[in-house]
């Protein structure tokens, strides 16, 4: 079969040499780049004696067939499904970005001490003020890092990992704007309170999940301030729960201050907001 110049008989602007036995590789590639030519045989591309009008009609038919293979509705549905798959990914990325925020030590403390953030609660019962504050593990890790002579990235990671395994709470107790020992009526009462704060607080506090599971108390620290602080502060360290829970309840039993049993509820989602916070130098 002899192929003639295709300017008149084939798609306008595409020329196949007249002396070629069939469309050349380059011409064939150019033709296939046009959607209408996709899937057409060499004979369909250019046929001797076919008029330009017939060729155009053939191309139009090919376009209609190609369009019918993937209806617009199907294409739209596919695009919608892709968008639906992307939405959870975008939400996750946004959440991770929000969680991995950076604070200075002062900024983090200010965030925690803001009652609007749900990490500090206060109650006053019979003249005794009780305040429970959630303490992010990053603040305690930062204190230890300050004592390290050479803080390598590996050492920093090890310290953060160790402290992140616990929940930390600070219980502050005061009367008249002063620490409890300042209000001791006599030496005997003073000695009793010192003993209670130093050794007995482990038996007076409990931390439970919303499912009523008790989280073990690992340790507590009572620093003596000798009347120089506005409150008596005790730091408690509890095992961090392995399962999801809606909230934690901190119970404080009566131990001689006429406060009765006191409860503080801290929402887990508020604590988790600080789980991946980065502490940066000021």
Annotated domain spans of the chain? 6-69, 100-280
**Most confident among 21-25, 52-56, 181-185 (mean pLDDT):** 181-185
Under the banding of pLDDT at 50, 70 and 90, the label for residue 27 is very low
Tens digits of per-residue pLDDT, 77-96? 666 665 666 555 544 444 44
* pLDDT of 54 strictly over 90: no
Which position has the higher pLDDT, 226 or 22?
Answer: 226
Tens digits of per-residue pLDDT, 162-179? 999 999 999 999 999 999
Topology adopted by domain 100-280: Immunoglobulin-like (2.60.40)
Flag whether the pTM goes above 0.85: no
* pLDDT of 211 strictly over 70: yes
pLDDT value of position 244: 82
Under the banding of pLDDT at 50, 70 and 90, the label for residue 230 is very high
The overall average pLDDT reported for the chain is 78
DSSP the chain: -----HHHHSSTT----TT-SS--HHHHHHHHTSGGGTT--HHHH--TT--HHHHHHHHHHHHHHHHHHS-HHHHHHHHHHHHHHHHHHHHHHHHHHHHS-EEEHHHHHHHHT-GGGTSEEEEEETTEEEEEEE--HHHHHHHHHHT-SS--HHHHHHHHHHHTTEEEEEEEEEETTEEGGGG-SSHHHHHHHHHIIIIIGGGTEEEEETT-PEEPEEEEE----TT-SSSEEEEEEEEPPSS--SEEEEEE--SSSS--SEEEEEEHHHHHTTTTPEEE--
Tens digits of per-residue pLDDT, 119-139? 999 999 999 999 999 999 999
pLDDT value of position 279: 82
- Report the percentage of the chain scoring pLDDT > 70: 63
pLDDT value of position 280: 76
């Amino acid at each position: 079969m002899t192929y003639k110049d295709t300017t008149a008989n084939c798609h306008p602007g595409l020329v196949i040499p007249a002396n070629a036995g069939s469309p050349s590789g380059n011409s064939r590639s150019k033709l296939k780049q046009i959607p209408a030519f996709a899937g057409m045989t060499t004979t369909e591309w250019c046929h001797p004696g076919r008029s330009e009008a017939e060729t155009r009609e053939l191309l139009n038919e090919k376009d209609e067939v190609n369009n019918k293979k993937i209806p617009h509705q199907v294409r739209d549905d596919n695009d919608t499904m892709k968008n639906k798959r992307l939405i959870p990914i975008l939400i996750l990325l946004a959440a991770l970005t929000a969680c991995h925020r950076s604070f200075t030590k002062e900024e983090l403390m200010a965030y925690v001490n803001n009652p609007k953030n749900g990490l500090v609660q206060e109650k006053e019962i019979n003249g005794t003020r009780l305040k429970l504050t959630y303490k992010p593990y990053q603040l305690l890790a930062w204190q230890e890092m300050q004592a390290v002579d050479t803080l390598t990235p590996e050492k920093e990671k090890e310290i953060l990992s160790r402290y992140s395994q616990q929940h930390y709470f600070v219980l502050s107790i005061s009367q008249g704007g002063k620490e409890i020992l300042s209000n001791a009526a006599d030496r005997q009462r003073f000695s009793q309170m010192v003993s209670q704060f130093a050794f007995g607080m482990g038996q007076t506090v409990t931390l439970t999940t919303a499912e009523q599971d008790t989280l073990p108390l690992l340790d507590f620290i009572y620093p003596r301030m000798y009347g120089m602080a506005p409150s008596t502060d005790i730091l408690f360290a509890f095992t961090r729960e392995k399962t999801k829970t809606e909230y934690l309840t901190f119970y404080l039993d009566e131990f001689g201050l006429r406060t009765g049993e006191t409860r503080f509820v801290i929402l887990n989602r508020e604590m988790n907001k600080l789980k991946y916070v980065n502490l940066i130098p000021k």
